[in-house]
A and B are shown apart, each in its own frame.
Chain A
Amino acid sequence: MQLELVTLLGEKFNEPVYEVMIPTASGEIAVFPGHEPLISIAMPGVLSVRRQKIDDDEHLEYFAISGGVIEVSGKRVRILVDEADAAPDIIEAESRAALEAAMQLRDNAKSQMELEKATRLIDRHAVRLKVAGLRRHHRR
């Protein structure tokens, strides 16, 4: 089964995988080869990828994704995503700093628009931090 992470800046990931776990509006779904055709909405969160059937949970790969549209057919999972970052590309300290900055922004927000912007930033950095944490956990 081919997993394609497509962003506006081009393909972020396009490789064969065995299983993908995607955060959606109605909870996390796991997609295996031969899944029924499905079109759904991805939520900001952690996308986990198992490359081969024999890989255990220690070898999962993680991506931090913002929202997107999921397109599943039997042979392919394509996710149109606004942003996707692989775990190794995320610097934990940077994310933590950004998260704190975003929280400060939320506390000082003066308008509804600023508040929304801050909330979105918090979501984004919280997800990235989580992905970075998962990777560190596995390395031990």
Chain B
Amino acid sequence: MPTSIRSLRSRIRSVSSTKQITRAMQMVAASKMRRAEEADTASAPYVESASEILTYLASQGATEGHPLFAKRPVKSRLIILVASDKGLAGAYNNNLMKRYLEELKKDDTNKIKNSTITIGRRAAQFATRLKDTAVIAVYQDLPDRPAGNELRAILDTAVAKFNSGEVDDVDVIYTAFNSTISQEVRLIHLLPAGFTETPVSEEVREAEYEPNIQDVLNSVVYRIVGAQLFQALLDARASEYAMRMMAMKNATDNADGLVDDLTLEMNKARQGAITQELAEISGGVEAMK
């Protein structure tokens, strides 16, 4: 059956070239993940220093009555949803959307007004179709390391809405990067502002604050909130690449298995054809006797 052999051969060829593509995508994702992972840890000294100053100022009571620390009863909530621009990353976007829907449902039952800022094309496509939330800003194609300007645009929108009392709570839903094989969807509170208590050094305690404590506090709080958002964006990127790498690895492995199966089938078909031909020849010889 030469036709079946030919069609099998062409299927093997097409599966092999698909495999080459998925393998290339796997390797690209792996190298991007490594870089994202490095960037992920780079912001630690910045956050630590800012937390230290903030810890001291909070111990002096400076944070009380500060607008960004104001805890109000939540009537309106802003969610910043961080998803990817592209697909082919396994369950990355699905997991995020599932969590996002849960949060929307929670707000719905508690009669909380919800609005959303989306980051990534997939998030925008999903959120703009829902009627439980108002999408107020859409960001797409952010670079792997969002620079000050892009970050500040998002941050300023959130801070302005919070300061004006339009929203009482700002949360970020993103995928936290634990390791190459483990990532989880996480929700963090961005505003009202919070920080990790950090040991305060002698210098920070003794220091003079210029022009005054309030101005320094404003400047530090804004930066630490920004750093938290930045960290979430980096984490999301590292997770996205890790999940894309795994998805593409699985696809490559599947293609490998498929090529093996098809090759076996093709060999069987070829052997069958040969056996049949031999049988016909020996049958013909028998008949001529």
If A9-B145, A83-B147, A83-B148 touch, whether A37 touches B206 (CB-CB below 8 Å) is yes
Cβ contacts under 8 Å, A40 to chain B: 209-211, 216
Cβ contacts under 8 Å, A67 to chain B: 219
If A39-B216, A120-B152 touch, whether A8 touches B211 (CB-CB below 8 Å) is no
Cβ contacts under 8 Å, A10 to chain B: 39, 42-43, 45
Chain A residues proximal to chain B, CB less than 8 Å: 6-11, 24-26, 36-41, 66-69, 71-74, 78, 80, 82-83, 113, 116-117, 120-121, 124
Which residues between 131 and 153 of chain B lie within 8 Å of chain A, taking CB atoms? 145, 147-149, 152-153
Among the 9-residue stretches B46-54, B236-244, B262-270, the one with 4 or more Cβ atoms under 8 Å from chain A is B46-54
**Contacting pair A41 B49 (CB below 8 A):** no
**Contacting pair A9 B210 (CB below 8 A):** no
B156, B210, B226: the one within 8 Å of A26 (CB): B210
**Contacting pair B219 A41 (CB below 8 A):** yes
Which residues between 149 and 183 of chain B lie within 8 Å of chain A, taking CB atoms? 149, 152-153, 156-157
Compute how far the CA of A124 lies from the CA of B148 in the bound complex, rounded to whole angstroms.
11
Tell me if B100 is interfacial: C-beta within 8 Å of chain A: no
Nearest CB in chain B to that of A9: its residue: B42
If A25-B215, A80-B49, A83-B148 touch, whether A38 touches B208 (CB-CB below 8 Å) is yes
If A6-B46, A8-B43, A10-B43 touch, whether A39 touches B147 (CB-CB below 8 Å) is no
Nearest CB in chain B to that of A124: its residue: B149
Compute how far the CA of A40 lies from the CA of B210 in the bound complex, rounded to whole angstroms.
5
Tell me if B227 is interfacial: C-beta within 8 Å of chain A: yes
Cβ contacts under 8 Å, A66 to chain B: 148
**Contacting pair A25 B211 (CB below 8 A):** yes
Cβ contacts under 8 Å, A121 to chain B: 149
A8, A24, A80: the one within 8 Å of B210 (CB): A24
**Contacting pair A80 B152 (CB below 8 A):** no
